[in-house]
Amino acid sequence: MGDLGGCPDLIGWLREYATHHINSRLIDDRRCIPPHIVLDFGNQGLLGMQVPRDYGGLGLGHGKTMQILQQLGAIDPTLSLFVGLNNILGIRPILNYGSPSLKAELLPILATGRELAAFALTEPGAGSNPQAIATRATSIADGWRLSGTKIWSGSAAWAGVINVFAQQDGGISGFAVRRGTAGLRQGAEALTMGMRGMVQNTVYLEDVPVGADHLLAKRARA
Ligand SMILES: Cc1cc2nc3c(=O)[nH]c(=O)nc-3n(C[C@H](O)[C@H](O)[C@H](O)COP(=O)(O)OP(=O)(O)OC[C@H]3O[C@@H](n4cnc5c(N)ncnc54)[C@H](O)[C@@H]3O)c2cc1C
């Protein structure tokens, strides 16, 4: 487990860090991950493990990333969800499907945890069946406008970018939406019985404009 192919020994670091700086009971009682953990994880590269080194990430492969998430899950499942979500649902769509300009804009800040990334697919009428999403992307001159409601979006209220999925001409497309974009509104938090330190938000999309360079992938037909 400790061999991370020349990378800093994050597993050793995590074990030592957890002994002194992670109090899972307080995370649960306070319903919040303390700021020092987010900052320290960001500085260690844990929030952008698979981002290439050129963009400031650790450039780890899937196996090593999973070893680290496994260790983190043994320490605290809420932190493993938080870190896994940022790396996998937040960063990977941008890494795999973002335009060169989008990657240059976002990856350096996501790799070091200066901003967080979230993923918004689920809706009140679409959970296990994501093809049923009702959020729409309507073409405009220089991109699209997104309209709809997302629920259960982990880290959404804390995120600098949310990967939003919407119906577009009979298929589903992904769009990277930055915090502060007109019409993007955070709704209520779902107060869960477990994983209480994470936030899951409702996200309202009220004619949110997204430019062509923020498209994450060509649409996938059902
Ligand atoms: C803690 C947490 C974090 C989450 N984070 C995110 C996130 O970051 N982004 C995001 O987009 N979503 C997120 N979700 C939402 C999650 O993806 C959905 O909850 C999941 O897709 C299930 O959808 P649902 O809750 O609407 O359940 P439903 O789809 O309503 O399913 C309810 C039950 O019915 C069963 N079921 C459904 N369809 C069938 C069928 N055809 N046959 C047999 N059984 C069926 C299911 O197995 C389940 O037991 C999160 C959810 C939780 C609880």
Query: What number of other Cβ atoms are within 10 A of residue 138's Cβ?
Result: 14
Torsion angle in degrees (nearest 10) through CA of 169, 123, 84, 66? -70
pLDDT per position as a tens digit, 196-215 = 999 999 999 999 999 999 99
Asked whether residue 15 falls in the same domain as residue 75, the answer is yes
Supply the mean pLDDT for the chain.
94
Asked whether residue 20 falls in the same domain as residue 44, the answer is yes
Give every CB contact of residue 181 below 8 A, 6+ residues apart in sequence: 208, 209, 210
| pLDDT score, position 222 | 52
Kindly tell me if the per-residue pLDDT of 8 is higher than 80. no
Asked whether residue 104 falls in the same domain as residue 124, the answer is no
29 within a domain of the structure (yes/no): yes
Ligand 1 neighbour 88 (Cβ under 6 A): no
pTM tops 0.85, yes or no = yes
Domain CATH for 104: 1.10.540.10
CA distances from 19 to 8, 162, 164, 205 (A): 18, 33, 37, 41
Asked whether residue 217 falls in the same domain as residue 124, the answer is yes
| pLDDT score, position 73 | 98
Asked whether residue 124 falls in the same domain as residue 174, the answer is yes
155 within a domain of the structure (yes/no): yes
Q: Which domain holds residue 199?
A: 116-221
Residue of 88, 91, 121, 122 best suited for mutating to test ligand 1, as the one with most atoms within 8 Å of CB = 122
Number of domains forming the structure of the chain: 2
Asked whether residue 163 falls in the same domain as residue 97, the answer is no
For ligand 1, atom 4: residue with the closest CA: 152
Distance (angstroms) between ligand 1 centre and the Cα of 31 equals 22
Q: Which of 62, 82, 111 is the last residue of a domain?
A: 111
Q: Which of 69, 92, 111 is the last residue of a domain?
A: 111
Q: Report the alpha-carbon distance of residue 173 to residue 215 in Å, rounded.
A: 8
Q: Which of 111, 144, 162 is the last residue of a domain?
A: 111
Q: What integer is the mean pLDDT of 165-187? A: 96
pLDDT per position as a tens digit, 54-82 = 999 999 999 999 999 999 999 999 999 99
4 within a domain of the structure (yes/no): no
Residue of 135, 152, 172, 200 best suited for mutating to test ligand 1, as the one with most atoms within 8 Å of CB = 152
3-state secondary structure of 24: helix
Q: Is the dihedral of CA 186, 42, 88, 180 positive or negative?
A: positive
Domain CATH for 205: 2.40.110.10
Asked whether residue 41 falls in the same domain as residue 57, the answer is yes
196 within a domain of the structure (yes/no): yes
Asked whether residue 67 falls in the same domain as residue 146, the answer is no
| pLDDT score, position 170 | 85
Kindly tell me if the per-residue pLDDT of 153 is higher than 60. yes
Give every CB contact of residue 109 below 8 A, 6+ residues apart in sequence: 115, 160
Inter-axis angle of helices 10-21 and 35-44, nearest 10:
160
* Backbone φ, ψ for residue 37 (5° rounding): -70, -45
60 within a domain of the structure (yes/no): yes
3 within a domain of the structure (yes/no): no
Kindly tell me if the per-residue pLDDT of 103 is higher than 50. yes
Asked whether residue 192 falls in the same domain as residue 126, the answer is yes
Asked whether residue 83 falls in the same domain as residue 177, the answer is no
Q: Report the alpha-carbon distance of residue 156 to residue 115 in Å, rounded.
A: 11
Q: Tokens in use for 10? A: 């994050």
Asked whether residue 18 falls in the same domain as residue 94, the answer is yes
Question: What is the number of residues in the chain?
Answer: 222
Q: Report the alpha-carbon distance of residue 146 to residue 131 in Å, rounded.
A: 17
Distance (angstroms) between ligand 1 centre and the Cα of 43 equals 33
